[in-house]
Amino acid sequence: MFQDATGNWWGVALSTRSGPEWLYFPMGRETIMVPVAWAEGEFPVWSSVDGVMSGWAFPPETLDLDGSGPFITEGDVIDFESGSELPAHFTHWRFPIRESYIISPPDHPNTLRLTPSKLNLTALNGNYAGPEGQTFVGRRQQDTLFTHSVNLEFSPMSLEEEAGVSVFLTQNHHLDLGVVMLPANNSTSLTTGTSSSGLAPHLRFRGISYVPVPDDIVVPIPKSWAGKKLKLEVKAHNMTHYSLSAGPADALSEARTILDVSNAPVSWGFSGKSFDNRTVA
């Protein structure tokens, strides 16, 4: 417990947003703050924790406070301006290799360049990624309902080379939507742009968890999308499911929903979770 500058008492604890049937809590364990009444000479009395709380006065609506932001209710639109840094509330999985994250390189201003790592997100080798690291940058989910999108410029050349977004809890629990280079004969579609090596870029959904996940989905990228910046989107449209979609960044009407997937596979344990970066390009 602690007192604020005006002398009011607050309590801090750990909690989860249980979700329907106590099965859907993709934000894991979170820190919460509740008002406490503590009269002199008496024991402290905690307020009952509920989904909607009231109590001592919060900061002014102007948010005119000292300290670094942003406030988590503001959301993010990150343009990776030259000279900026990764926001302090972005996260990594395993110790990051700083050289793998270049903001606004000279030939691609207002982007974040990620240097690929050999390890994918599962990479079951403990919590050490080796000297080459594991390239991942994320942002914690803060709301039950949200829309997250990332504009991706990616031209894979090698088999299984992949980049994308992930609803990520741990290496054992994640739901991925990526652009990946696969053999062209993975699909009989005639709309796919095929390389001279017999490989072609595809959209692929893969999931891993201790609870059941949908089978992999592999979709050829249409020839009309070839060479374009793609928008990958994760949307929590209700309390239990995400929808994963993709399409050209400059033609939102062409976006395709790849699947709706339950958040149960990432509602595991109490360790919290991260998102692959929301504004990578």
Note whether 101 and 229 are same-domain residues: yes
**Do residues 123 and 31 both lie within one domain?**
no
Domain that holds residue 113: 75-275
pLDDT bracket for residue 185 (50, 70, 90): confident
What does the alpha-carbon distance between residue 14 and residue 35 come to, in Å, rounded to a whole number? 14
281 is a domain residue = no
Indicate whether 188 pLDDT > 60.
Answer: no
Residue 78 has what pLDDT?
A: 93
Please give the pLDDT value at position 131: 82
Q: How many domains does the chain have?
A: 2
Could you tell me the CA-to-CA distances from 277 to 85, 110, 113, 135, 234 in Å, in that order? Answer: 14, 14, 12, 11, 11
Of 77 and 62, the structure prediction assigns the larger pLDDT to 77
Are 102 and 48 members of one domain? no
Q: What is the pLDDT of residues 198-246, one digit of tens each?
A: 899 999 999 999 999 999 999 999 999 988 999 999 999 999 999 999 9
Of residues 189 and 112, which shows the higher confidence score? 112
DSSP, residue by residue, 157-214: -STT-EEEEEEEEETTEEEEEEEEEEEGGG---SSB---TTSEEEEEEEEEE-SS--P
Q: What is the mean pLDDT of the chain?
A: 86
- Regarding whether 180 and 57 lie in a shared domain, the answer is no
* Four-CA torsion 189, 191, 195, 199, nearest 10 degrees: -30
- Of 46, 67, 88, the residue at which a domain comes to its end is 67
pTM for this prediction: 0.84
Position 191 pLDDT exceeds 90: no
More confident residue, 180 or 56: 180
Share of the chain above pLDDT 70, in %: 84
The model's confidence at residue 192, banded by pLDDT at 50, 70 and 90, is: very low
Residues 36 and 114 in one domain: no
pLDDT of residue 275: 44
Is the pLDDT reported for residue 80 higher than 90?
A: yes
Contact by Cβ (8 Å): 31, 48: no
- Assign 2 to helix, strand or coil: strand
Q: Are residues 204 and 262 in the same domain?
A: yes
